Amino acid sequence: MKVISYNQYGGTEVLNIKDQPVPEPAKHEVLIKNLYIGLNPSEAITLQGKIWIARLESGILRPKQNILGGDIVGEVVQIGRDVRGIKVGDRVATRTKGQALAEFTALNAQEVCLIPANVDDLDAAASILTGVTAYQALVELALVKPKEKVLINGVTGGIGIMATQLARNTKATVDGFGSSANFGYLKSLGLNKAHDYLFTSLEELNETYDIIIDLVGNWSAKSILKQLKPNGCAVMVGYQSLSRTMGWLLRKGKRAEGKQMHILNAEANPERLKVILQLIADKKVKPRIGEVFPLEKSPEAFEVLCAPYQYGKLILRT
């Protein structure tokens, strides 16, 4: 099988196409023929290795794993002898810790989620990390409620698009910072006020919010606290520097006036993924698909992923 591997941090020039044997599933595993692989900005961060705090997980001097990628949609082609509840031919979605940029993946059967019949493969692939992260931030941590005011930094990205729909489903009001090129699409999803991050800063806003979600990581904890209502909740998902992250860590938990601050490490387990896929099946949320590249064009796809902005979710097909 073909895999996209790398052995050192850098740009797309360090990505290589290699042949490896198809893995044999263990007794508790399933072998998946990967059909679509969703790409996330976190994979670009891992590839480049420019954010040193991220290297604590991926490897200080060089990558611990030589295959990137995590979001997989595929078909089960073989099962281990102890696997129950999954059969050959099932369409499944999963989030792995690396090893996704390949034609086949073997993993624990308990880590996969069956895809509802009326959910398209591309929509499923585009919603794994984005949908689950939005769900964790808004529903599990911030406990979003009707009539609350929500502010999202990075609203025009993949997670922001899903978060906007989740918040609007609860009848919350959503404002956001992002790229003006995508504001029309977000307005169609119910975005209230759109702020171009190039021309407006958080400190310029003359209103406060019940919930603030920072998907970019370029807002200081101090600035966010000023814009947060009493008993409000802020969640940081993206990060750009150690100093910003440390600022959040020092203020993490409950603050004055009941304000709460959380740092989210998203975990796309099958239970959460099942919720997101059902929301797609029920037409409550829908991801925005961008470009789809063949697996062998992974370097080109990562060139787009590493660029300052993308229009929709980037996906690889095998």
Q: What is the pLDDT of residues 247-256, one digit of tens each?
A: 555 555 556 6
pLDDT at residue 212 tops 70: yes
> Does residue 279 lie within any of the structural domains?
no
Q: What is the pLDDT of residues 160-197, one digit of tens each?
A: 999 999 999 999 999 999 988 889 999 999 999 999 99
* Total count of domains within the chain: 2
Evaluate if pTM is beyond 0.85. yes
Do residues 138 and 211 share a domain?
yes
Do residues 191 and 294 share a domain?
no
Q: For a pLDDT cut of 90, what percent of the chain falls above it?
A: 76
Do residues 67 and 135 share a domain?
no
Do residues 98 and 146 share a domain?
no
pLDDT-derived band of residue 128, with 50, 70 and 90 as boundaries?
Answer: very high
> Does residue 268 lie within any of the structural domains?
no
> Does residue 247 lie within any of the structural domains?
yes
Q: What is the pLDDT of residues 36-49, one digit of tens each?
A: 999 998 898 889 88
> Does residue 77 lie within any of the structural domains?
yes
What was the pLDDT predicted at 94? 97
Of residues 148 and 241, more confidence is placed in: 148
pLDDT at residue 123 tops 60: yes
Write the CATH number for 15: 3.90.180.10
What was the pLDDT predicted at 217? 86
> Does residue 278 lie within any of the structural domains?
no
User: What domain range is 31 assigned to?
Assistant: 2-114+288-317
Cβ burial of 28 (10 Å; 0-12, 13-18, 19+) is middle
Do residues 67 and 137 share a domain?
no
Write the CATH number for 183: 3.40.50.720
pLDDT at residue 26 tops 90: yes
Range with the poorest average pLDDT among 104-108, 167-171, 256-260: 256-260
Do residues 161 and 249 share a domain?
yes
Do residues 94 and 183 share a domain?
no
Do residues 148 and 105 share a domain?
no
